């Protein structure tokens, strides 16, 4: 009897275990109609495509990106030692150093008009005696530098398509950029043609002064897309393949960050440069730093300070350029500018923009502190000298 009960108990447990296994694993095998439905949902939710948005963007604009090879002849001064007949006869002509040296360079650009207009950086082509333009498809043309502006680092090069068709890069709107947008840099870094790097827009409106380039008047686009020598002048694209900026490798010490000139700035100056005209750059001729009451107090407490400054918020004039509009208006070192045309100013970049927007030969009413006196002076803007 005991054996019979034991066998019945074992059989009962086995049947229960078998039913449990069938019930659990049965849920993993849907009916054929269910399986087809699941497969269809998976196919619709994940579409595998051979090309990324980057590939599509580059395919749209890449053919219009060109390589610019430049040559310039530099004349060097000869040491009088080598012009002395005695030493020339003694050492021979082979010791005479060459008076001229040919310098080569390379950069990028992109075609913006089917007539052959190319945008690039001024530092790529400025002072070049010869420019050779090479398209992605291998065609080469002689380039003519129509205009170059060092202050904005922009230049226009023209080629004669000779009846052939030229690809054109679509231009976007740099005013619509947001931090975090995609940024695609295209160019020819260090001689490696048709190179593409990807990143994002890190910052917009980065002033040249804050970048450490005080001789430029620009608000740069900052990106983490790699921009190296040779990339200069090439396009910075958005995710749709539209040009939003012109890459510039102007800070050789920049690690992990690059800068681009907003395309809207280039649009505004393209016709001026293409016609060979000089880009207007009004200036007043002061070197300045921002001043706060706290900084002024710290300066005035220092017994070795060369000057005492008013303890106000404004722009401290640290130097006046000789024969400049500021010098003619009798501005002095130590003056603190607090308003221009009744508009308060606290930042040098803001003052520079006021001057830029005023134009050439404009009259500016400058309110400043000189010591404890509040003065009103009139400054007339002039064209910045010494730029091409």
CB 338 within 8 A of CB 344: yes
The structural architecture, per CATH, of the domain 58-158 is Beta Barrel (2.40)
Catalytic residue (one of 123, 149, 174, 207): 123
User: What are the tens digits of pLDDT across the range 68-118?
Assistant: 999 998 776 555 655 666 555 655 555 555 667 888 899 999 999 999 999
Token digits of residue 167:
């690809």
Residue-level pLDDT at 28: 43
Question: Is 123 part of the annotated catalytic residue set?
Answer: yes
CB 196 within 8 A of CB 266: no
282-383 is classed CATH 2.30.42.10 = yes
Residue-level pLDDT at 208: 78
Residue-level pLDDT at 181: 96
Q: Is 6 exposed, middle or buried (0-12, 13-18, 19+ CB in 10 A)?
A: exposed
Residue-level pLDDT at 42: 44
Q: Quick one: CA dihedral 206, 210, 213, 217, positive or negative?
A: positive
Average pLDDT, consecutive stretches of 10 residues, N- to C-terminus, the chain (388 residues)? 55 55 46 48 49 90 94 72 59 60 90 97 92 94 95 95 93 96 90 86 84 78 87 94 89 75 95 93 93 92 88 93 95 95 91 92 95 94 80
The structural architecture, per CATH, of the domain 174-266 is Beta Barrel (2.40)
Closest CA to 368 of 319, 332, 321, 323: 332
CATH topology of 58-158 equal to that of 174-266? yes
Question: Is 215 part of the annotated catalytic residue set?
Answer: no
Residue-level pLDDT at 103: 87
Catalytic residue (one of 69, 108, 149, 153): 153
Catalytic residue (one of 219, 232, 324, 335): 232
Question: Is 13 part of the annotated catalytic residue set?
Answer: no
CB 122 within 8 A of CB 105: no
CA distance 127 to 245: 23
Would you list the domain boundaries of the chain? 58-158, 174-266, 282-383
CB 355 within 8 A of CB 374: no
């Amino acid at each position: 009897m005991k054996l019979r009960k034991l066998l019945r108990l074992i059989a009962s447990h086995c049947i229960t275990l078998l039913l449990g296994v069938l019930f659990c694993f049965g849920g993993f095998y849907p009916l054929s109609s269910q399986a087809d439905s699941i497969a269809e949902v998976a196919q619709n939710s994940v579409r595998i495509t051979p090309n990324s948005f980057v590939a599509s963007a580059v395919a749209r604009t890449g053919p219009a990106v060109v390589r610019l090879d430049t040559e310039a002849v530099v004349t060097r001064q000869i040491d009088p030692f080598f012009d002395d007949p005695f030493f020339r006869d003694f050492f021979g002509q082979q010791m005479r150093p060459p008076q001229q040296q040919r310098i080569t360079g390379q950069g990028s650009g992109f075609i913006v008009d089917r007539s052959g207009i190319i945008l690039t950086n001024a530092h790529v082509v400025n002072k070049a005696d010869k420019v050779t333009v090479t398209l992605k498809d291998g065609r080469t043309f002689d380039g003519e530098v129509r205009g170059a502006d060092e202050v904005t680092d922009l230049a226009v090069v023209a080629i004669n398509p000779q009846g052939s068709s030229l690809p054109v890069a679509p231009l976007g709107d740099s005013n619509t950029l947001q931090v975090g947008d995609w940024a695609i840099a295209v160019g020819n870094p260090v001689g490696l043609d048709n190179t593409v790097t990807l990143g994002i827009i890190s910052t917009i409106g980065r002033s040249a002064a804050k970048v450490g380039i005080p001789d430029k008047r620009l608000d740069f686009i900052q990106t983490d897309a790699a921009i190296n020598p040779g990339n200069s002048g090439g396009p910075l694209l958005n995710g749709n393949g539209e040009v939003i900026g012109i890459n510039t490798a102007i800070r050789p010490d920049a690690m992990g960050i690059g800068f681009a000139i907003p395309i809207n700035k280039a649009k505004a100056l393209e016709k001026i440069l293409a016609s060979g005209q000089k880009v207007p750059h009004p200036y007043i001729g002061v070197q300045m730093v921002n001043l706060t009451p706290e900084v002024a107090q710290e300066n005035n407490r220092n017994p070795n300070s060369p000057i005492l400054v008013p303890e106000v918020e404004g722009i401290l004039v640290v130097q006046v350029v000789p024969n400049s509009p500021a010098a003619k208006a009798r501005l002095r070192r130590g003056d603190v500018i607090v308003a221009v045309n009744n508009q308060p100013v606290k930042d040098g970049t803001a003052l520079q923009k006021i001057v830029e927007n005023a134009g050439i030969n404009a009259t500016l009413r400058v309110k400043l502190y000189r010591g404890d006196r509040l003065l009103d002076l009139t400054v007339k803007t002039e064209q910045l000298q010494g730029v091409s």
